[in-house]
Amino acid sequence: MREFVVEADGGSRGNPGPAGYGAVVLDAASGESLVEAAEYLGVVTNNVAEYRGLLAGLRAARELDPDARVHVRMDSKLVVEQMSGRWKIKHPDMKPLAAEAARIFPPGRVTYEWIPRAENKHADRLANEAMDAGARGERWSPADSTAELDAGGAAGRRARGARTGDERETGAAADERAAEGVGAGARAGGTPSLSARAGTESAPRAGAGERVGPTAPADDEDAPSTSARADAERARTGAVADAARAGGGADAARAGGGAEGARTGAVAESSRAGAGEADVRAARTVASPGWGPPDMGAPATFVLLRHGETPLTPQKRFSGSGGSDPSLSSVGREQAERVAASLARRGTIQAVVASPLARTRETAGIVAARLGLEVTVEEGLRETDFGAWEGLTFGEVRERYPADLDAWLASPDARPTGGGESFAATGARVAATRDKLVSAYAGRTVLLVSHVTPIKTFLRLALGAPPESLFRMELSAASLSVVAHYADGGASVRLFNETSHLR
């Protein structure tokens, strides 16, 4: 049976404050670093960040081998004692995180050990890289990480020897050269939150055979596509290194950031100036022509989740913001649990925002509890008000209000019978909400839990498609779509109507 060591850490600069986690999976026999994971979490507490680091490390180990044995090493006495069963878990924010960690591997296959902070340097460096990236409005990139080099140790020396081209260089000489940053340069690559040495891709994939076709856009209603902008982002990611890093370590973050700046990368970065500047210029040349400037920064990425089923959904009834405001059915709650598990495995969501209606708040609550996040309610994400059509099927509306329905289908300015909301009004509301959220969550990945019409409108606006395109998109209950929004106003649709997590 294969054996792994997981080292994990997390910190919050303020407690609560800007936080991040880091985790590394090591081969227990050789000490080789197999997988690194890190993520900026937004504003959370130290303990939440530490638990999120544990979750990321265990998930990465499971991806490598679900039958392995795992030994977890952390400098958090709280997490180690709680996960070992010696301390009770009382805090409501900790309980779902601990429960999720306990489910990743079968009981008895994971052991825990407390270690001093000085022995947890690799994970500590990863956590601080993630926090530093978040402070710059960027995502942590494994291609730019120097955590393994900074941490030292056998794995670090092996990495240093490989990067300098001198397999014989070990010990103090290798450490000295690593401190000088030899061979670092600029790297171009993707920005997954989890990067295996063998090239594991962590981006979500759409299920095969997803159907997209004409449908009535009632609340009864994601296949990936890659844009030139997304390609350009991949080409330029990692091209520009920071002049210096001042992190202070997760230890300093626990103290509220008072020791920030305890370590800097100025010496290492200055030694990269020769070859590094040439690499940066080359990367800019590749990224720029035809794609716009290479320094737009990381986009605000919106993961658009339609709520789970309600009793009205399988009946194909109009269910907007002016009707009975139904809650999820038992099927809908199961769908929300499934999407929560899928998003937890991906580990990229940094915030959760939901429409104020009951079905979206319930769906968001189930997902957020699994992710250890809070739910923010945003009025602009609510569904269209369908007026007198609320609770009716499309056929019933056709029978009772044929002239109003024909007008509604023909013009985005037409309103449903009884003073409902036009698609033009919904579009203006969603556009304003989009701009607000792009500004608030620049560089972060946010789950937006909403409804059919707002989600289709996000996609329509991103594509520059006409209003009638709303009638040509199918959006399933509990489906996922993804849109990235850039600082220059551009957008990239990355996923549409994905439902593989429901199968």
Query: What are the catalytic residues?
Result: 307, 383
Cis (ω within 30 of 0) for the bond into 92? no
Rg (CA), the chain: 24
Q: Which residues of 396-433 are buried (b: 16+ CB within 10 A; e: fewer)?
A: ebeeebeebbeebeeebebbbbeebbbbeebbebbeeb
Phi and psi of 73, rounded to 5°? -120, 120
DSSP 14: S
The span from the CA of 193 to the CA of 51, in Å, is: 16
Contact 354, 455 (CB under 8 A): no
Q: Please give the C-alpha separations between residue 286 and each of 225, 234, 236, 283, in angstroms, as whole numbers.
A: 22, 11, 8, 5
DSSP 349: -
The span from the CA of 71 to the CA of 109, in Å, is: 8
Give which of 141, 126, 337, 354 is closest to 249, Cα–Cα: 126
The set of residues, in sequence order, having a beta carbon less than 8 Å from that of 49 and lying 6+ positions away, is: 10, 11, 12, 19, 20, 21, 41, 127
Q: Which residues pair with 40 in a beta bridge?
A: 20
Q: Please give the C-alpha separations between residue 138 and each of 148, 303, 373, 434, in angstroms, as whole numbers.
A: 20, 17, 20, 19
CB atoms < 10 A from the CB of 24, how many? 29
Determine the distance from the C-alpha atom of residue 371 to the mean position of all C-alpha atoms in its chain, rounded to a whole number. 11
Residue for token pair 């658009």: 304
Contact 206, 440 (CB under 8 A): no
Give which of 154, 106, 131 is closest to 12, Cα–Cα: 131
